[in-house]
Structure 1
Amino acid sequence: MSSQEYEHEGFNPGVDANPDSQRKNDHIRLALEQQQTVQRNAFDDIRFVHHSLRAVDQSSVDTSTRVCGAHWRMPFYINAMTGGSAQAGHINALLAQAAQRTDLAMATGSQHAALRRAELVPTFTTVRKHDPVGFVFANVGPTVSPEQAVQAVEMLEANALQVHINPVQEAVMTEGDRDFASWPERIRAIVQAVPVPVVAKEVGFGFSRPTIELLASLGVSSVDVSGRGGTNFAVIENSRRTDHAYWYMDDWGFSTVLSLLVANQPEPIAGLQLLASGGVRSPLDLVKALALGAQAVGISGHFLQVLTQNGVAGLVAEIESWSVQLRSLMSLLGASTISDLQATDLLITGSTAQEASLLGVDVSAFARRSEGHLL
C-alpha cells in the first residue's frame, strides 16, 4: 500500500514512544501488508450444490440473526482490530462511524493497554462517542483479573465481551506471556464476574472440538472460531522479532472452515452459539460460513483495507454492497433465513475434506443435507 493510500482520512502509522502503542501501530501496518494479495484459503474447498429451481424471491429473504441475545439486522459484523495508540484510536473512531451508519455490530481490539495506561482509554471510548447505541463487543485476554474484565465492559458500555485466546501469538511475540496453564480457570472467573455475555475468540488459529467443549463447560455463551486463512499473527509477531526465529509457524492451526466443521460434529454443543471469522474475503465466504453453522461472521482485515484506502464512505458502501449480495446469494440458494442456509448442500473437497475426515467428520453427508426437499 502506498503512503498516499494509507494517509487517506489521516492514516499515518508513525512511530510511538510507548512500547504498547508502537506494538499496536506495528500490528496495523503488518496486517495491512497481508491484505495486499487475496490468497487461497479453506473457503475455496467449499462449494454449494446448485439447484436451479430452488431459488426464492429476494423479497422473502430475512437476513436477521440473534447474537448474544440481541437482534441483528445482518449476520456479519466488524470484528476486533485495534486500540491502544493514537493511530488505533483514529481507526476505531472511523470504524464506529461506519458501524453506526450501517447498523452493524463492532468489536474493539484488546483493551489491555487502556487497562494499564489511563491516557489510552480514549482510543477505545471513541467507539461509543461515534456509535452511542450500537452493539459493541469489549475485548480482553484471559490474563486480566475479573475486576479488569468488568472495567473493560464498563469502559465501552459494551453489550458483550470477547475474551481473545491467543497462545500462538504470545509464544511467538518476544514480549508475550508464557504462562498458559491458568487460562481456563481465568476464563471461568471472567464469565462469572461480567454482567454481559462472554464470547471466547481465537485470533486466527482456530479451535478444536475438545477446546470448544472445554469453553462451553467454562460458561461462555458463544465461540468465535477465528481460524487460519486471514490475518496471521504468527507471521506478524515473527516479523517484529529481530531473529525471525518462528518462520515455520505460518501454517499453524485450524482453518475457519475446519473449526466450524468439527464444532458441529458429531452434533452441535447444546446452548453454545457459533460465530466465525478469519479469512472472510467476500460475501460468498460469508454465506459459506453461515451455511457451516455460524450465526454471524466477523470481518477484520478486508474492512480495514477498504477503510484505509477509501475512508468511511467507502467502507459504508462496501458494507451495504455485502448486504445486497448476501440477500442475492441466499435467494439463489433457496434460503429465506439463516437457518435455511444451514440445510443447503455443500461439496467439501481438498485438504479440508482430508483433515475433516481424519477428525471424524462425515464430509459426504453435507452434499445431501437437503434430501426430502422438492426440486
Structure 2
Amino acid sequence: MRSIRKKEHIENYLKTTFQGDTLLGDVFLEHNALPNLNLNEIDTSTTFLGKKISFPILINAMTGGSSLTQEINRDLSMLAKEFNIPMAVGSQTIALEDAEGARESFKIVREIIGNDGVVISNLSGQATADEAKQALELVDGDAIQIHLNTAQELVMEEGDREFRGVIDNIQSIVQRTNKPVIVKEVGFGISKNVAERLYNIGIRYVDVAGFGGTNFVEIENLRNHAYDYTELYSWGIPTAAALVNCRKLPKDLKLISSGGIRNSTDVVKSIVLGAEVAGISGELLSYLVHGGYSYAKEYLDSLVYKIKILMLLLGKKNIEELRNSEYKVTGKLKDLV
C-alpha cells in the first residue's frame, strides 16, 4: 500500500494547480552598484553537517520505496554528487517494513553519492529511536530528518489520527542516536513556538518547510474521494515568515529553508534570512520527470550561476558575507513577523 501511495503522490504532484505564496517576494535586498568584485571571486561553498558542500542547496526529501522512485533517487543522487550538494531521502518507513526491493531504492543514494557527500535519512515523528537507528544505518546517514506531517495525515483517508507523544519520540531519538536530528515540516511551516519547544528537547536543526511549495493537502485531496478539502489548500505558515520568526531563537539552532524554493532569488533570500541551506524538492522533481536528468542538470546549472550573479550584485563574495546582508520586510510579511 505504501508503494502504491508513493507512486500516487508523484503522479498527483504533477497534477496540482494550487500555487501558494512563500512571501519571499516581500523581502527586499538592496542593489550594490559598486560591488568591487569579479564574478570568478564569488565563493558559494559552505559547510553543512560537518562536510564542505559547493552550494547552499539541499535536494530535499521526495520519495523512495518502489522501482519508479528508485529511478528518481538514482538521478537525484547523481545530481547531488555532480554538484556536491546534500540530499535527503524520502520517508524510509516503507523500507523498514517492506522487502529488500524497497530498501534498494534508498541504499542506491549513498552508493552513488559516496562517503564524502551528505546523505540524510528520513522518518516520521511517530518513529522510535530504534527505527531511526535502522534508517540511518540503511543509507549511512550523516543526519536524520524527522518529518511532521499532521495536516497531510488528517486529509489522507488512511492517515494517522493520533499525534500525542510525538515530541517524546523526537526527544528519545535525539538522546539515543549519535547523529544530528533535523525536524522538518512537509509544507505547512514551523512556528517560532514549535521551534522553541524542539530546541528545548535538544534539536539543533529545523527545516521550516513553509507554505508556498508542494501542497500535500491538494495531493491527498486528489486521492481522497470522501471529502473535498479545497478550503484547506491555503493553510500554513509562509516560508519567509517561518524563517524570520524562527531566526529569533538562539543562533546555534540551524535553520533550513524549504517550501516553494524554486529559483536563485529564493535561495539567496533564504540565506540572508538566516538559513544554512535552502531545500529544493518539487521544482527539481518537475524538471526531472518532464525532461530527464539533463533537463534537471540544466536547471541546477542555471540556478547556481544566478546565485553567483545575485551575490555579486549584493557585493558579497562568500556565503558568510551573504548571511550578514541587510534586508527590509515589506507587504504581507511585515504583518507576520
State the TM-score, normalizing by the size of structure 1: 0.85
Aligned to 2:112: 130
Are the aligned partners of 2:18 and 2:233 in contact in 1 as well (CA < 8 Å)? no
Offset of residue 281 of structure 1: 1.4
**Distance of 1:154 and 1:80 partners within structure 2:** 17
Pick from 221, 224, 230: which aligns with 1:241?
224
CA distance change for structure 1 residues 244 and 55 in 2, over 3 Å: closer, same or farther? Answer: farther
Superposed, which structure 2 residues align to 1:313-332 within 5 Å?
313-332=294-313
Deviates more, 1:246-255 or 1:341-350: 341-350
* Alpha carbons 2:42, 2:317 under 8 Å: kept: yes
Q: Does 1:179 align with 2:185?
A: no
Opposite residue 30 of structure 1, the aligned amino acid is N
**Equivalent residue in structure 1 for 2:28, among 43, 47, 51:** 47
Helix, strand or coil for the counterpart of 1:321? helix
SS in 2 for 1:295: strand
Higher alpha-carbon Rg:
1
Distance 1:55 1:262 in 2: 33
Structure 2: tracts of 5 or more residues without a match: none
CA shift, 1:224, in A, is: 0.6
Distance of 2:313 and 2:299 partners within structure 1:
21
Mapped to 2, the partners of 1:20 and 1:87 lie a distance apart of 13
User: 1:215 Cα deviation (Å)?
Assistant: 0.9
Q: CA-to-partner distance for each residue in 1:24-72, whole Å, 9 max, x for gaps?
A: 01111122223x7876541222221223224532233221222222222
In the TM superposition, residue 321 of structure 1 has moved relative to its aligned partner by 2.1
Q: CA deviation at 1:110?
A: 0.3
Between 1:149-158 and 1:346-355, the stretch displaced more is 346-355
Percent of pairs identical after alignment? Answer: 36
Aligned residues: 335
**Post-superposition shift, 1:150?**
0.3
Cα distance 1:39–1:165, how it changes in 2: closer, same or farther (>3 A)? closer
Q: 1:205 aligns with which of 188, 195, 213?
A: 188
Per the alignment, do residues 346 and 270 of structure 1 end up closer, same or farther by CA in structure 2, a change over 3 Å counting? Answer: closer
Deviation of 1:80 (Å)? 0.4
Corresponding position of 1:22: 4
In structure 2, the partner of 1:68 is: 49
SS of the aligned residue for 2:227 comes to: coil
Q: Which runs of 4 or more aligned residues in structure 1 lie more than 4 Å from their structure 2 counterparts after TM superposition?
A: 36-40
Tell me the residue number matched to 1:285. Answer: 266
Secondary structure in 2 matching 1:138: strand
Aligned-partner residue type, residue 170 of structure 2: I
- Residue type of the alignment partner of 2:211: R
Which position in structure 1 is the counterpart of 2:235?
A: 252
Deviation at 1:301, TM superposition (A): 0.7
1:68-95 Cα shifts (integer Å, max 9, x gaps): 2222221002110001222111111111
In structure 1, distance between residues paired with 2:75 and 2:41: 33
What is the rounded CA distance, in whole Å, between the counterparts of 1:316 and 1:174 in structure 2? 36
User: What one-letter code is carried by the residue in structure 2 that aligns with 1:104?
Assistant: I
SS at match of 2:190: coil
- Judge conservation of contact 1:32–1:304 (CA < 8 Å) in 2: no
CA distance in 2, matches of 1:173, 1:39: 20
CA offsets, 1:289-316, max 9 Å, x none? 1111001011001111111122112222
Q: List aligned pairs for 1:187-226, cutoff 5 A.
A: 187-226=170-209
Partner SS, residue 179 of structure 1:
coil
The range that moved more, 61-70 or 202-211, is 61-70
- Does residue 271 of structure 1 match 2:271? no
Separation in structure 2 between the aligned mates of residue 40 and residue 83 of structure 1, nearest angstrom = 28
1:165: which partner in 2? Answer: 148
Within-5 A mapping of 1:291-310: 291-310=272-291
User: CA contact under 8 A between 1:153 and 1:194: conserved in structure 2?
Assistant: no
Letter in 2 for 1:167: T
TM-score (norm: length of structure 2): 0.94
Unaligned runs of 5+ in 1: 1-18, 357-375
Report if aligned partners of 1:295, 1:338 keep a CA contact under 8 Å in 2.
no
Q: Partner of 1:349 in structure 2?
A: 330
Instruction: Decide which of 83, 89, 92 is 1:111's aligned counterpart.
Output: 92
In the alignment, the residues of structure 2 paired with residue 104 and residue 94 of structure 1 have an alpha-carbon distance, to the nearest angstrom, of: 14
**AA in 1 matched with 2:25:** D
3-state SS of paired residue (2:250): coil
| 211 and 243 in structure 1: CA distance in 2 versus 1, 3 angstrom threshold | same
Structure 1 Cα separation of the partners of residues 172 and 246 of structure 2:
24
